[in-house]
Structure 1
Amino acid sequence: MKTELRVAAYAVCVRDGEILLARWVTRDGRKLWTLPGGGMDHGELPVEALVREVEEETGYTAEPVALLGIDSIRRRDRTTRLGRPLDWQGLRIIYEARVTGGTLRNEDGGSTDLAAWHPLEAVPSLDRVELVDIGLQLRRDRPPVGHSHLYDPANG
């Protein structure tokens, strides 16, 4: 079975009771809200990936202010483009960040199609990936080892 590791950096940007989210378009066309961020390029530092990805997906310049934690997700039900079984793992580095400039806009031609601020109390009603909940939990609890209690050992 082929294995693949993807390392990515994400931002939890909260201001005035709202969180900045990007809407991810899945391979099958579903649209789910997620934290702005994404995969690191080879040789790129995680904080550089975070700044680049937030700008690409939202139009904003972001400044990382704290490392909240590192999350890992594993999917054994994926296949390669040739249809072979794939054991995929995503390592997600999650930062608290603040917007320091730019103008809100949507990504053009990327993996997301919309960027928006959402009231924190509205998050539970959004169609979203679990990373949003993990990021908010890490921001709220600030666990000393950067590990959310939302972690599922059977999945990771």
Structure 2
Amino acid sequence: MGNPEDGSTGEKTVFVAKAAVVQDGKVLILHPCAETHHAEHDSIDLPGGKIRYGEDPLEALAREVREETGLLVEPIAPVRLWSFVRSDGLHFIGVTVVCTTQTGEVRLSDEHEGYAWVPPTAIAAAWPVHDELQAAFEVLERSSAMSTVARSSQARSTR
């Protein structure tokens, strides 16, 4: 039987929500502590974490981002549903949600040892990422390009 408090189902499955926090065209990435996150050297992560049993996924996302970074976020839209099995057999099913923030100062929890605001295109070149994370960044890049086109088009129509 699983533990509803930590999001596990008993079949070694954990449900998680991750935030692609966007500010000034850049995405917040975190550098997890290897000791606490089964992290590889130089790995990156997005803020977020486990959805507790009965918890609303967007509320879980906001809670986890606040706990890990001190940021208050506004969820905008899901960009990727993903799944992977970690080397210890734990199966993660998650959603990545684009979020904005009005608060700018990041205050890291002890789960992470660093952070950076980076353009989505620079992420894959600078750090090794798994396929699901890379796909989320690609979606972000496309949506960022579409937003730029929409803003540009809107500006021309108001002239």
Give yes or no for TM over 0.5: yes
Q: CA deviation at 1:140?
A: 4.2
Q: What is the one-letter code of the residue matched to 1:20?
A: L
**2:32 aligns with one of 2, 18, 24:** 24
Q: Is the 8 A contact 2:32 2:39 kept in 1?
A: no
In structure 2, stretches of 5+ residues that fail to align are: 1-9, 144-159
Higher strand share: 1
Q: Is the 8 A contact 2:21 2:101 kept in 1?
A: yes
* 2:100 corresponds to 1:92: no
Determine the structure 1 residue equivalent to 2:16. Answer: 8
- The superposition leaves residues 47-73 of structure 1 with CA deviations (integer Å, 9 ceiling, x where unpaired) of 011101111222210110112231111
- The superposition leaves residues 95-121 of structure 1 with CA deviations (integer Å, 9 ceiling, x where unpaired) of 11101336212212x2x2223212334
Q: Is the 8 A contact 1:57 1:115 kept in 2?
A: no
Counting matched residue pairs gives: 130
Q: What is the one-letter code of the residue matched to 1:104?
A: V
Q: Is the 8 A contact 1:4 1:88 kept in 2?
A: yes
Determine the structure 1 residue equivalent to 2:135. Answer: 134
* 2:63 corresponds to 1:52: yes
In structure 1, stretches of 5+ residues that fail to align are: 79-86, 143-156
CA 140–49 in structure 1, closer or farther in 2 if over 3 Å, else same: same
Which fold has the larger relative contact order, with Cα–Cα distance below 8 Å and residues 6 or more apart in sequence?
1
Higher helix share: 2
CA 24–116 in structure 1, closer or farther in 2 if over 3 Å, else same: same
Q: CA deviation at 1:29?
A: 6.2
RMSD: 2.4
C-alpha distance in structure 2 between counterparts of 1:65 and 1:121, whole Å:
20
CA 29–73 in structure 1, closer or farther in 2 if over 3 Å, else same: closer
SS of the equivalent of 1:54 reads helix
Q: Which has the larger radius of gyration?
A: 2
Q: What is the one-letter code of the residue matched to 2:81?
A: I
SS of the equivalent of 2:68 reads helix
Q: What is the one-letter code of the residue matched to 1:89?
A: H
The two structures have a TM-score, normalised by structure 2, of 0.69
Identical columns (%): 28
